[in-house]
């Protein structure tokens, strides 16, 4: 099954924060892969822009090193050399005049113009304004902004207002890299491309849905940021919320940006407030040489959570009565992200009580081993009567699609190509982000008002025991993750 690569229009992409961590780890190695695949055409150019004084050669060396460290291990030196010729660098002062004339002189007419703001949100306004006053942004130019998009509803509104002074909504691409993951898009293909699932996709047939995004890493070198954020702001408000939306939304009339985003917005607006006893917060303990959470963020009294589990409901016709359980955390047992749609039991068991209780489950695995599994109940093989057993029907994409599954672009590179194509379907709209904060804010304010202290949990576990109890109380359990 050969995957088709359709080249995008030639572009001028400026990466503000071009020497930063995200640029080196994800954006530039990702663009290199798109270049090797022929999707980024050789006429395109990428301009790094940052505060540091550096010339084009210096930036090319930085990118060559980034590709060696974070890019494909089998990168061909000729490809790297060809890619580097497409790169330039401008030292820029986001709050002053320095560098803007140079940047303007490098932009070419007739090419798609995109500006990636891989910088602190405090600079978004300055950059947006200077792109205009220096006559660099055009009416069809695009800007790409990274999370965190605000830290609450008020700051998100202010950011939206600032950006909208200079750019229309259809020029603003708010990245949530989870939407660029292959399986996340497959989720929509599976739901809306098959007759099989949609008729069963509601509270009548589905018992509950659980979403797990578990990481083995700790907060690493990002303690300063993370301690002001926590799992709720860092993961739930955006990544888990987006997964929830795609699972729960009504079928859009077509796969077009506003149709999809309208449906997602309706889900967020229908989310019930979360009751305090339906949330468990945790902080990881030390393991081996690895420090505990509070030491890692250098804040011995920190009350920020590195783990969260919660239960919520969506108050609409489709989902009334079906709970959604969400959990995410750092330093957990394994790096596993999955969505499990757990169906109800059959209304009556013709095999009698000894057959036990069985539930179908559709598991959508984001990582590792992207794929979909359906747990189906069958007869246990062999003599001895009718005993039932649940077995997985497994479709690991790497096996089903063969070598082509290796060429699947990673989330960032796919999303950047969408920016160049002008397709906003996989980006968050301003009202969506605000609605997500409107749901999250009262939860966080509640913790602050109660001086809530997270429970500690063992590193390498699946979070505090209370997270297990959250499900047990309802007669359910979290799926075991590998
Ligand atoms: C980021 C968070 O948005 O997503 C990080 O800020 C987190 O804290 C990361 O580690 C997880 O992304 P992925 O793609 O590795 O699951």
Q: What is the pLDDT of residues 287-326, one digit of tens each?
A: 888 999 999 999 999 999 999 999 999 999 999 999 999 9
Report the separation in Å between the CA atom of 316 and the middle of ligand 1, taken as the mean of its atom positions. 30
Q: What is the CA radius of gyration of the chain?
A: 24
Q: Is residue 272 one of the residues assigned to a domain?
A: yes
- Mean pLDDT, rounded, of the chain: 94
Q: What CATH number should be reported for the domain holding residue 121?
A: 3.40.50.720
Report the separation in Å between the CA atom of 222 and the middle of ligand 1, taken as the mean of its atom positions. 12
Query: Candidates 182, 228, 239, 414: which one to mutate for ligand 1, based on the most atoms within 8 Å of Cβ?
Result: 239
pLDDT at 285: 96
Q: Is residue 315 one of the residues assigned to a domain?
A: yes
Mean pLDDT of 449-471: 96
pLDDT at 403: 64
**Nearest alpha-carbon partner for 413 in 1, 58, 40:** 40
The residue whose C-alpha atom lies closest to atom 15 belonging to ligand 1 is 215
Asked if 128 and 116 count as a contact pair (C-beta separation under 8 A), the reply is no
CA angle, corner 16, sides to 10 and 17, nearest 5?
Answer: 130
Q: Number of H helices and number of E strands within the chain?
A: 17, 15
Tally of domains in the chain: 2
Q: Is residue 97 one of the residues assigned to a domain?
A: yes
Report the separation in Å between the CA atom of 328 and the middle of ligand 1, taken as the mean of its atom positions. 11
User: pLDDT of 133-176, one tens digit each?
Assistant: 999 999 999 999 998 899 999 999 999 999 999 999 999 999 99
Query: Do 271 and 372 belong to one domain?
Result: yes
User: 279 pLDDT band (50/70/90 cuts)?
Assistant: very high
Query: Do 276 and 183 belong to one domain?
Result: yes
Query: Do 281 and 395 belong to one domain?
Result: yes
The residue whose C-alpha atom lies closest to atom 6 belonging to ligand 1 is 234
Mean pLDDT of 354-359: 87
Cis peptide before 148 (omega within 30 of 0): yes
Query: Do 139 and 223 belong to one domain?
Result: no
Mean pLDDT of 38-45: 96
Strands (DSSP E) found in 198-301: 206-214, 279-284
pLDDT at 406: 62
**Nearest alpha-carbon partner for 399 in 358, 434, 363, 371:** 371
Query: Do 110 and 195 belong to one domain?
Result: no
Query: Do 194 and 45 belong to one domain?
Result: no
Q: Is the pLDDT of residue 385 over 90?
A: no
Q: Is the pLDDT of residue 236 over 90?
A: yes
Q: Which residues line ligand 1 (CB under 6 A)?
A: 215, 234, 337
Report the separation in Å between the CA atom of 397 and the middle of ligand 1, taken as the mean of its atom positions. 22
- CA atoms of 129 and 107, how far apart (whole Å): 17
- CA atoms of 51 and 19, how far apart (whole Å): 9
Query: Do 110 and 238 belong to one domain?
Result: no
- CA atoms of 309 and 470, how far apart (whole Å): 8
Boundary of a domain, candidates 89, 124, 146: 146
User: pLDDT of 86-104, one tens digit each?
Assistant: 999 999 999 999 999 999 9
Instruction: Please name the residue that has the structure tokens 């660099």.
Output: 136
CA angle, corner 302, sides to 298 and 306, nearest 5?
Answer: 95
Q: What CATH number should be reported for the domain holding residue 227?
A: 3.30.360.10
- CA atoms of 272 and 149, how far apart (whole Å): 22
Asked if 336 and 214 count as a contact pair (C-beta separation under 8 A), the reply is yes
- CA atoms of 283 and 54, how far apart (whole Å): 41
Q: Is residue 480 one of the residues assigned to a domain?
A: no
Instruction: Please name the residue that has the structure tokens 């018992």.
Output: 207
Q: What is the largest CA-CA distance in the chain?
A: 83
The residue segments making up the domain with residue 119 are 11-146
Q: Is the pLDDT of residue 80 over 60?
A: yes
Mean pLDDT of 313-342: 97
The residue whose C-alpha atom lies closest to atom 9 belonging to ligand 1 is 235
Asked if 457 and 307 count as a contact pair (C-beta separation under 8 A), the reply is yes
Query: Candidates 234, 296, 369: which one to mutate for ligand 1, based on the most atoms within 8 Å of Cβ?
Result: 234
- The 3-state DSSP class for residue 239 equals helix
Q: Is residue 293 one of the residues assigned to a domain?
A: yes
pLDDT at 211: 98
Boundary of a domain, candidates 126, 146, 166: 146
Q: Is the pLDDT of residue 419 over 80?
A: yes
pLDDT at 185: 86
Query: Do 126 and 275 belong to one domain?
Result: no
pLDDT at 387: 85
Q: Is residue 52 one of the residues assigned to a domain?
A: yes
Mean pLDDT of 228-232: 97
The first and second tokens of residue 201, run together, are 């996709």
CB-side neighbour CA atoms (13 Å) of 33: 23
Q: Is the pLDDT of residue 24 over 90?
A: yes
Q: What ligand 1 atom has the least distance to the C-alpha of 219?
A: 8
Alpha-carbon distances, residue 39 vs 4, 5, 24, 45, 414 (angstroms):
10, 6, 20, 13, 10
Query: Do 194 and 338 belong to one domain?
Result: yes
Q: Is residue 422 one of the residues assigned to a domain?
A: no
Boundary of a domain, candidates 122, 146, 170: 146
The first and second tokens of residue 257, run together, are 């940006």
Query: Candidates 177, 223, 224, 226: which one to mutate for ligand 1, based on the most atoms within 8 Å of Cβ?
Result: 177
Query: Do 231 and 322 belong to one domain?
Result: yes
Q: Is the pLDDT of residue 77 over 70?
A: yes
Q: Is residue 153 one of the residues assigned to a domain?
A: no
Mean pLDDT of 466-470: 97
Q: Is the pLDDT of residue 451 over 70?
A: yes
- CA atoms of 24 and 29, how far apart (whole Å): 7
Q: What ligand 1 atom has the least distance to the C-alpha of 176?
A: 3
Q: What ligand 1 atom has the least distance to the C-alpha of 238?
A: 3
Q: Is the pLDDT of residue 402 over 80?
A: no
Q: What ligand 1 atom has the least distance to the C-alpha of 226?
A: 8
Report the separation in Å between the CA atom of 198 and the middle of ligand 1, taken as the mean of its atom positions. 30
Q: What ligand 1 atom has the least distance to the C-alpha of 239?
A: 3
Alpha-carbon distances, residue 214 vs 49, 334, 440 (angstroms):
34, 6, 20
Query: Do 103 and 198 belong to one domain?
Result: no
Q: Is the pLDDT of residue 240 over 90?
A: yes
User: Considering Cα of 444, then 449, then 451, then 452, what sign does the dihedral take?
Assistant: negative
User: 407 pLDDT band (50/70/90 cuts)?
Assistant: low
The residue whose C-alpha atom lies closest to atom 14 belonging to ligand 1 is 178
User: 481 pLDDT band (50/70/90 cuts)?
Assistant: confident
Mean pLDDT of 414-421: 97
Report the separation in Å between the CA atom of 233 and the middle of ligand 1, taken as the mean of its atom positions. 12
**Nearest alpha-carbon partner for 187 in 269, 257, 245:** 245
Distance of CA 434 to the CA centre of its chain: 17
Q: Is the pLDDT of residue 46 over 80?
A: yes
H-helix or E-strand spanning residue 362: strand 361-367
- CA atoms of 8 and 419, how far apart (whole Å): 10
Q: Which residues touch 352 (CB under 8 Å, ≥6 apart)?
A: none
Burial of 201: CB neighbours in 10 Å, binned 0-12, 13-18, 19+:
buried
User: 382 pLDDT band (50/70/90 cuts)?
Assistant: confident
Task: Answer yes or no: 239 catalytic.
Answer: yes
Check 166, 239, 278, 313 and give the catalytic one: 239
Query: Do 105 and 184 belong to one domain?
Result: no
């Amino acid at each position: 099954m050969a995957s088709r690569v359709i080249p995008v229009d030639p572009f001028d992409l400026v990466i503000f924060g071009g020497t930063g961590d995200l640029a080196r780890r994800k954006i530039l190695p990702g663009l290199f892969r798109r270049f090797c695949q022929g999707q980024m055409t050789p006429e395109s150019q990428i301009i790094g822009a940052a505060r540091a004084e550096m010339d084009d050669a210096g930036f090319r060396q930085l990118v060559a090193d980034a590709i060696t460290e974070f890019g494909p291990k089998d990168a061909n030196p000729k490809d790297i050399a060809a890619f580097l010729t497409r790169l330039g660098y401008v030292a820029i002062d986001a709050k002053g005049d320095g560098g803007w004339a140079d940047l303007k002189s490098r932009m070419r007419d007739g090419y798609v113009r995109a500006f990636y703001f891989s910088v602190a949100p405090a600079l978004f306004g300055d950059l947006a304004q200077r792109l205009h006053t220096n006559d660099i942004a055009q009416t069809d130019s695009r800007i790409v902004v990274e999370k965190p998009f605000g830290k609450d509803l008020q700051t998100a509104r202010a950011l939206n207002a600032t950006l909208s002074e200079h750019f229309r909504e259809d020029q603003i691409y708010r990245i949530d890299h989870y939407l660029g993951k292959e399986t996340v898009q497959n989720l929509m293909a599976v739901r809306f491309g098959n007759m099989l699932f949609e008729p069963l996709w509601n509270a009548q047939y589905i018992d509950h849905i659980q979403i797990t995004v578990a990481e083995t890493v700790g907060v690493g070198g990002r303690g300063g940021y993370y301690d002001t954020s926590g799992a709720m702001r860092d993961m739930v408000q955006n990544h888990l919320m987006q997964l929830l939306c795609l699972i729960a939304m009504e079928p859009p009339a077509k796969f077009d940006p506003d149709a999809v985003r309208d449906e997602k917005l309706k889900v967020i607006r229908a989310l019930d407030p979360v009751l305090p006893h339906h949330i468990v917060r945790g902080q990881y303990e030390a393991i081996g040489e690895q420090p505990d959470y509070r030491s890692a963020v250098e804040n011995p009294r920190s009350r920020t959570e590195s783990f969260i589990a919660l239960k919520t409901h969506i108050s609409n016709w489709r989902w009334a009565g079906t709970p959604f359980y969400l959990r995410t955390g750092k330093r957990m047992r394994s790096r596993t992200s999955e969505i499990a749609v757990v169906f109800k039991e059959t209304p009556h068991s013709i095999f009698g009580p000894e057959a036990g209780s069985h539930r179908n489950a559709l598991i959508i695995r984001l990582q590792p081993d992207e794929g979909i599994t359906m747990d189906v109940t069958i007869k246990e093989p062999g003599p001895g009567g009718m005993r039932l057993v649940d077995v997985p029907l497994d479709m690991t994409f790497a096996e089903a699609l063969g070598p082509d599954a290796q060429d699947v672009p990673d989330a960032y590179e796919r999303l950047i190509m969408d920016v160049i194509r002008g397709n906003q379907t996989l980006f968050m709209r301003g009202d969506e982000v605000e609605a997500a904060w409107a749901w999250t804010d009262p939860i966080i304010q509640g913790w602050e008002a109660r001086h809530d202290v997270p429970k500690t949990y063992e590193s390498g576990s699946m979070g505090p025991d209370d997270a297990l109890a959250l499900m047990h109380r309802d007669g359910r359990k979290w799926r075991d993750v590998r």
